[in-house]
Structure 1
Amino acid sequence: MNLCTDQLALMLAAPGQLVSVSYLAQDGVVAPLQEAARALPANHGLAEEVYLLQPDLVLAGRYSTVATVAMLQRLGVPVIRFEPENSLDDVEASLAQMGAALGRDAEAQAVIARFRQDRALLATHAAQVRAGAEGPRAVLYSARGWTGGSETLSGDILRAAGLRNLADELGLAWGGMVALESLLIADPDRLILGQPGHSPEGWSEARALLHHPALRHSRAYATGVTANDRDWVCGTPYVLGAIARLIDGTAP
């Protein structure tokens, strides 16, 4: 019932083991494994629809569909809740937890081993690109001015790419809102924008800030904007793709 647990389950489950995934898992804008998800019935996190599926186990995020989870537990349906990943190390922990939940420990350990190997290769690549030089100052800037600090998964992605996170300079280790004026005064070297798309109605108030003329005329914007795409959304091995693009996109 959660986009991110869906991704982990789709990576590890045996054929036929999953009976439903959340509707968000079928959205290619936010879900890397949308094709596999589209082969399964979608649910909208409603207790009635999930209960009627008669699952042996429900996988949910810690903070998602709280009322539904509580109702399913009262009805005797087993539920395992996953904590959000705040670091690359947490990705490994969630993979191991999902492997145990699905009885797919060997498969989970194989994915973890590949993740560790690819992560080490990226670390070597980042060190070669930086060649001992201090990394550029970068800022993550999403809808309504939200940014992620060093204690978040997005912050760890920046760190792995050898970038310095502006949020930490602003005292936002766990993330928070940054006024556009504060961002412009700080004058970062690199800008990573949340997806600046529009709502189906044609305009999104939440993302309007990402289209502001002052931002578009900033030095960081002129240098080249990186998109905070679907590989950033969940704590899965796909985050390594985001790291790789950041390293290559900010090379001297």
Structure 2
Amino acid sequence: MRGSVRPSRHILGWLAALSLAVATPLAAAPQRVVSMNLCADQLAMLLAGDGQLISVSDLAQDPRISAMAETAAGYPVNHGRAEEIYLLRPDLVIAGQFTSGPAVQMLRRLGIRVEILPPAESIAAIRQEITRMGGLLGREEAAADLIAEFDRGLASLGRDRRRGRAALYYANGMTSGRNTLAGTILDAAGYENIAGDYGIAMTAGLPLELVVMAQPDRLITGAKWPGQSRSEAILDHPALKKLTPETAEVADRDWVCGTPFILRAIEALQ
């Protein structure tokens, strides 16, 4: 027909794809979800609907490293083995980036859907992980509510106040820089991280002498575990004892995972 404009093949293909997407119903939310990662456990427990989450990792029930150990006590646990998870008949398995590769590969070969969540090392990444978990569970509204609650908590902590210089120092003489979750917590609490003095942005070793030379206003160490680990002996060094009266031994459970529970870690430092 003269004067008419015919759409290109590209546009026609795009319109066809769009109509198909509109006509195709969204996939139903998974009904039998298994988490095999400590951090995924917590996000799943915060967002899952009634009866949707059927198993969490055994670490979720350890109060030393799990911020939701009491809640996790109400769930059956798994130990990250493909055989036991397969027998639970899940329609979704959520694993972490460092979850056992062979277990994940076997589950996928058996036809089980497995989604991998990377560790969240920043405030923005925590928001992204909450959003992603909400999408995986079909609980987008709950995820949006949780993010709003998290943001309100951050705003109430007064992040603009600066409190001096601090050193993060752990077993084996390790420290954390600004691009780690611990570094994010330190910054949100109002402290300057001395790791930046030595160009450390991730997790790396820091000689005791450099910690002392930096003269931090506060020293922050991880909680000591039972036993006689030689890796923790450095934390008892007399030089650290004399360094600053402001030494904080933090609860690992609030620092391990990028979840809204970092608000407790930030508040404890303030």
Common fold: TM-score over 0.5: yes
RMSD: 1.4
Shift of 1:74: 1.4
SS in 1 for 2:219: strand
Deviation string, structure 1 residues 85-110 (Cα, Å, up to 9, x no partner): 11011111000000011111111110
- 2:250 maps to 227
Is residue 185 from structure 1 mapped to residue 210 from structure 2 by the alignment? no
What one-letter code is carried by the residue in structure 2 that aligns with 1:59? I
User: How many Å separate the matches in 1 of 2:57 and 2:232?
Assistant: 24
Deviation string, structure 1 residues 108-164 (Cα, Å, up to 9, x no partner): 110011111111222xx243xx3xxx5311111112122111111111111111110
Q: How does 1:124-139 map to 2 (within 5 A)?
A: 125-127=158-160, 130=161, 135-139=163-167
Q: How does 1:1-252 map to 2 (within 5 A)?
A: 1-122=36-157, 125-127=158-160, 130=161, 135-198=163-226, 202-218=227-243, 220=244, 222-247=245-270
Question: Could you tell me whether the CA contact under 8 Å between 1:193 and 1:228 is conserved in 2?
Answer: no
User: How many Å separate the matches in 1 of 2:92 and 2:246?
Assistant: 48
What one-letter code is carried by the residue in structure 1 that aligns with 2:234? L
User: How many Å separate the matches in 2 of 1:112 and 1:10?
Assistant: 15
Query: In terms of Rg, which structure is larger?
Result: 2
Structure 1 residues 226 and 203: CA distance shift in structure 2, 3 A: closer
Instruction: State the number of aligned residues.
Output: 235
Shift of 1:193: 0.3
Shift of 1:14: 1.1
Shift of 1:165: 0.4
Shift of 1:175: 2.1
Shift of 1:226: 4.1
User: How many Å separate the matches in 2 of 1:188 and 1:154?
Assistant: 16
Q: Which stretch shows the higher mean deviation, 177-186 or 42-51? A: 177-186
User: How many Å separate the matches in 2 of 1:210 and 1:223?
Assistant: 14
User: How many Å separate the matches in 1 of 2:247 and 2:171?
Assistant: 19
Percent identical residues? 46
Shift of 1:206: 2.7
User: How many Å separate the matches in 1 of 2:258 and 2:94?
Assistant: 15
Which structure 2 segments of 5+ residues have no match? 1-35
Question: Could you tell me whether the CA contact under 8 Å between 1:21 and 1:40 is conserved in 2?
Answer: yes
What one-letter code is carried by the residue in structure 1 that aligns with 2:135? A
Structure 1 residues 206 and 51: CA distance shift in structure 2, 3 A: farther
User: How many Å separate the matches in 2 of 1:65 and 1:75?
Assistant: 16
User: How many Å separate the matches in 2 of 1:97 and 1:71?
Assistant: 24
SS in 2 for 1:138: strand
What one-letter code is carried by the residue in structure 2 that aligns with 1:174? M
What one-letter code is carried by the residue in structure 2 that aligns with 1:121? S
User: How many Å separate the matches in 1 of 2:93 and 2:257?
Assistant: 19
